Structure 1
């Protein structure tokens, strides 16, 4: 019998995950679309990420990253051949970069790899699904056969190679149209000349239109308009603080 694994994009999904779905659960506790992702070896990569995460979130120390995140990451390449592995990831940039990363750790293995996505009509992603709906989503999982190209997306992302990202997204578009949307969102967030990048530009527009500097109000509106990014409050708060500081100094 095949050994089953489920790789989940975060603890919130783990908390609502159907207890009667067989398989070991691995939680990818990362936000790889934010911050540096370089490192020639896993140890170098963990060092870079631990330092960044501890600065991003004061509640997560570098030691906490090594205690809670690294052990889960190390479980992925340790999955044995001839396993049944299901990746649970949404379409936003946050989830997609983690999806590319997870696939890069698995693509050379002799495994059956599947992807589960929430239904299009659900604006809240997996968070809007109850146990029954999650089991339906699992039944509708589809086989990932283009593991090499998806793994290349991670390499192109690490290298900040927009040209290669777009090319790969185009080659994958017929089966994975959501990848191209995420790639374009990533490219759009890069500053160009006087343009601060799409997320900051959107924040400025929201602040002007709503005539407020209240972060809670702005964050809610940003999530509605820019759901493609999948940003959490910590990512948006950092951008918001930068926008405010730039306005004060302008």
Structure 2
């Protein structure tokens, strides 16, 4: 009788999975590796030190909370050494896909003998709608599990390689990757494209998501910040960010707003949206990382879809 271990993308789906008749233990991967500096050696002391420093500085995460929520769960993962099959439950978006390749990098090193399989939700009904795991009913979750993809050693090596590139100091190497279709990762290519658009635009110094927030502020005239956050949550596409992430981005753009209640841009804010001026020199932060790369050491060319090194 083979034994199974489930690794999920977050607490809400862990609770859902616990309510269903699946065998095996469940571990929750509590991280957001799409934001802040990352290191290739997932699970090492320096890896967790770097992650805690980012979360503490930017999200006010206390050491006790980090130990209780993230490190305890990671140690539990380390202690699960006997399972024959490890099933990963992740979603189509950038947030999940970056966590997924980090977990696969860790598994490549620490669980070489286990069979790794993947349940990845997204395009489930042939429409443009993308579904998170919790958006599916119980029957659909069982169906996704039954159709899970058994990853080959080549798949795992490829995921690890993309993780190494994500953690490198130069995103141009990621941009040049093209053979995603040879591996069992339906959404990874899109996630990497979205990641590259997080570098500042050559046009105005704001990245794609920051520009989208500014445009929504102009076009939808939200009544308050909460409504602005909800609007961007509803229109974020492949990012998969949570409300606290959007609130942090909006706060970084605060000088470009005259008011949050109602939401209104300043004249400079409007000029930036229209591409009449750049905000690069004001928003530049020499400690801001995307993976292993300094965010403001590169520019994204919207017309060519290419990254430029400064």
Tell me if structure 2 keeps the 8 A contact 1:85–1:111.
yes
2:206 aligned partner: 196
1:209 aligns with 2:219: yes
Tell me if structure 1 keeps the 8 A contact 2:86–2:115.
yes
1:240 aligns with 2:242: no
Q: Secondary structure at the match of 1:229?
A: coil
Mapping 1:123-134, distance limit 5 Å: 123-134=130-141
How far apart are 1:92 and its partner, in Å? 0.4
Distance 2:167 2:101 in 1: 11
How far apart are 1:82 and its partner, in Å? 6.4
Residues 1:243 and 1:10: Cα distance change in structure 2 (over 3 Å):
same
TM-score where L is the length of structure 2? 0.73
Distance 2:57 2:27 in 1: 25
Residues 1:229 and 1:112: Cα distance change in structure 2 (over 3 Å):
same
Distance 1:216 1:179 in 2: 31
Residues 1:227 and 1:74: Cα distance change in structure 2 (over 3 Å):
farther
1:158 aligned partner: 167
Tell me if structure 1 keeps the 8 A contact 2:4–2:24.
yes
Mapping 1:1-250, distance limit 5 Å: 1-17=1-17, 18-38=19-39, 42-58=44-60, 60-80=61-81, 83-108=84-109, 109-120=112-123, 121=125, 123-145=130-152, 146-168=155-177, 170-174=178-182, 175-193=184-202, 194-212=204-222, 214-247=224-257, 250=268
Q: Secondary structure at the match of 2:107?
A: coil
How far apart are 1:25 and its partner, in Å? 0.6
Distance 1:177 1:162 in 2: 21
Q: How many residues in Structure 1 have an aligned counterpart in Structure 2?
A: 248
Residues 1:13 and 1:82: Cα distance change in structure 2 (over 3 Å):
closer
For residues 86-124 of structure 1, what are the alpha-carbon distances to aligned partners after superposition, in whole Å with 9 as ceiling and x for unaligned?
Answer: 110001000000001000001241221111022514644
Distance 1:186 1:132 in 2: 33
TM-score where L is the length of structure 1? 0.89
Q: Unpaired runs of 5+ in structure 2?
A: 259-265, 269-310
Residues 1:101 and 1:118: Cα distance change in structure 2 (over 3 Å):
same
How far apart are 1:172 and its partner, in Å? 2.0
How far apart are 1:162 and its partner, in Å? 2.4
How far apart are 1:132 and its partner, in Å? 2.8
Higher share in strand = 2
Distance 1:14 1:80 in 2: 20
Distance 2:45 2:242 in 1: 26
Q: Secondary structure at the match of 1:47?
A: helix
Q: Secondary structure at the match of 2:27?
A: strand
How far apart are 1:3 and its partner, in Å? 2.5
For residues 221-240 of structure 1, what are the alpha-carbon distances to aligned partners after superposition, in whole Å with 9 as ceiling and x for unaligned?
Answer: 21232231101011111111
Q: Unpaired runs of 5+ in structure 1?
A: none
Tell me if structure 1 keeps the 8 A contact 2:40–2:163.
no
Tell me if structure 2 keeps the 8 A contact 1:6–1:23.
yes
